[in-house]
Amino acid sequence: MKLAVITDEIDADVERAADVMAEYGVKGAELRQLWDKNIVDASNDYWKRAKEILDRRGMNVVSIASPFYKCELPGDPTDGPSGPLHSAAARGLADQMAVLDRSLEAARFFDAPIVRVFSFWRRRPLTPEIEDAIVDAFAEPAEIAREAGITLGLENEHACYIGTGAQTARVLEKINSPNVRAIWDPGNAYVDGEKPFPRGYDAVKDFVVHIHVKDARVPEGQLEPVWTVVGEGDVDYVGQWRALAEAGYEGYVSLETHYNGKQTKEASSRACLEGLIQTAKTAGFI
């Protein structure tokens, strides 16, 4: 298993995040928020400072976790973000290509092979017509990514239209581009009502180039899921890791904590990172 962490899940201070990652032998950094700025809004000086910190520790950037297409689908009402933007400025559809350009610039600067992308804020029930609109919206980005030699990783996100493995697979099959693949997030699929493993993974496995890890469960007496320590929720990560090992998966597994049950973000992420490592050991994936 090649481990990574979305650095601001530990601390927005990149240096502190990198120190914690080094304690656990994590060599992969996924960049989303650098100090007080989202990576697409951060200046090149922020980028240089972050790169120096990671280079000193022998860490590599495995993905740029951009907010591309966290916006309204054409025809949907504008009602503000329906999910977190992680310090990114809220932008409409007209500004999204500029977001993509800046994200690809970051990918080139950090030598990252993947730029994470989304599928528009979910404002209505998903329909075949909405799926087709999403597919159409990726025609130009897919070509731009091909020319740049970068992979766009579509993350299944429950706050966006495409939240499950099955939905992601359907859309990617229609996009039909080797430069638009899947960032598989079992935790997001669970929150969106799908059984992540084996059902969601079986649907999307042929498209997966990167994985985000967080866990969730529905507490007794409640209806809505809550984030929890990895390995203590309802996502079968031991089964997921075994399947990935059998498939010869060579990409990164990146912690995206979300759980905040400890006193600090760092403490919560430490607990989740330890849980991730333990489930991987149990599965023989580490």
Are 185 and 163 in contact by the 8 Å Cβ rule? The answer is no
Residues in the chain: 286
In angstroms, rounded to a whole number, what is the distance separating the alpha carbons of residues 221 and 77?
A: 34
For residue 236, the domain's CATH number is: 3.20.20.150
CA angle (209, 25, 277) in 5-degree steps: 65
Range of the domain at 229: 2-283
CA angle (131, 134, 138) in 5-degree steps: 140
The C-alpha torsion from 55 through 45 and 40 to 254, rounded to 10°, is 20
- Alpha helices by DSSP H, listed for 138-236, are 139-148, 165-175, 186-191, 201-204
Are 191 and 228 in contact by the 8 Å Cβ rule? The answer is no
In angstroms, rounded to a whole number, what is the distance separating the alpha carbons of residues 23 and 11?
A: 14
Tens-of-pLDDT digits for all 286 residues of the chain?
999 999 999 999 999 999 999 999 999 999 999 999 999 999 999 999 999 999 999 999 999 999 999 999 988 887 777 676 766 788 889 999 999 999 999 999 999 999 999 999 999 999 999 999 999 999 999 999 999 999 999 999 999 999 999 999 999 999 999 999 999 999 999 999 999 999 999 999 999 999 999 999 999 999 999 999 999 999 999 999 999 999 999 999 999 999 999 999 999 999 999 999 999 999 999 8
The dihedral sign for the CA sequence 79, 81, 87, 88: negative
Alpha carbon distances (Å) from 154 to 8, 189, 225 = 20, 13, 23
Tell me, yes or no, if the pTM score tops 0.75. yes
Output the 3-class SS for 262-280.
CCCHHHHHHHHHHHHHHHH
Domain count, the chain: 1
Residue with tokens 């601001």: 8
